[in-house]
Amino acid sequence: MIAVINYGMGNTGSIINMLHRIGTEAEVAERPEDLAFADKIILPGVGTFDAGMGNLEELGFAEVIREEVLGKGKPILGICLGMQLLGNRSEEGKKEGLALIDFDNVRFSFAAETGLKIPHMGWDIVDIRKTVPLVEGITERPRYYFVHSYHAVCRDSTDILMSCSYGYEFTAAVNRGNIYGTQFHPEKSHRFGMKIMENFARCV
């Protein structure tokens, strides 16, 4: 069973619906103790870094996530803000993140003449940087849906799973062992997003 964490910062409903559509048992985790019964965890997220970490801490999820993922080895998939919270910190706020992967989140920065807008919003092509179960069977350059103003900067390049270009190349997905994160929204990304969710459910 996959537990989708509800900490007031993400659209858990659309993720649950996609998981059910592909025939995967999934439930919303309303309390930290719900994670003990899950085989895998999804941390969604829309909003600001400090609000997200604040909610995880206040509800008691932060330490339990670390225990389940680092201590017990359960796979976790962070989505959008949920991916950013897997890192150390963000220029968006002052709180410390979950620190499951060694990266910081920085705001996009462009010269005025580029005309590029922040946030980076809409469909974009990504490049897969390494072969892991989450991207199994994806044989073409996939397109995913993004909405974000900040992106991860990994200290170890081997943690970069996917990259994308918006003004410059940035990290679109991360992976270290049983820990995965996508800056894009697989639940909004049609067949390529569904493949990511299928792989997380069945291959990871």
Which residue numbers are catalytic?
A: 80, 185, 187
> How far apart (Å, rounded) are the C-alpha atoms in residues 45 and 86?
11
Residue (of 1, 54, 65) closest to 31 by Cα position: 65
In which residue are the tokens 């996530």 written? 65
Cα–Cα distance, 91 to 164 (Å, whole number): 20
Backbone φ and ψ for 29, nearest 5 degrees, come out as -90, 110
Q: Treating both helix axes as pointing N-terminal to C-terminal, what angle do 190-202 and 12-21 enclose, rounded to 10 degrees?
A: 80
What's the sign of the alpha-carbon dihedral 35, 17, 24, 52? negative
Q: Is the dihedral of CA 80, 182, 50, 12 positive or negative?
A: positive
How many whole angstroms separate alpha carbon 142 and alpha carbon 123?
Answer: 10
d(CA 129, CA 145): 18
- For the CA atoms of 19, 174, 79, 121, what is the dihedral angle to 10 degrees? -120
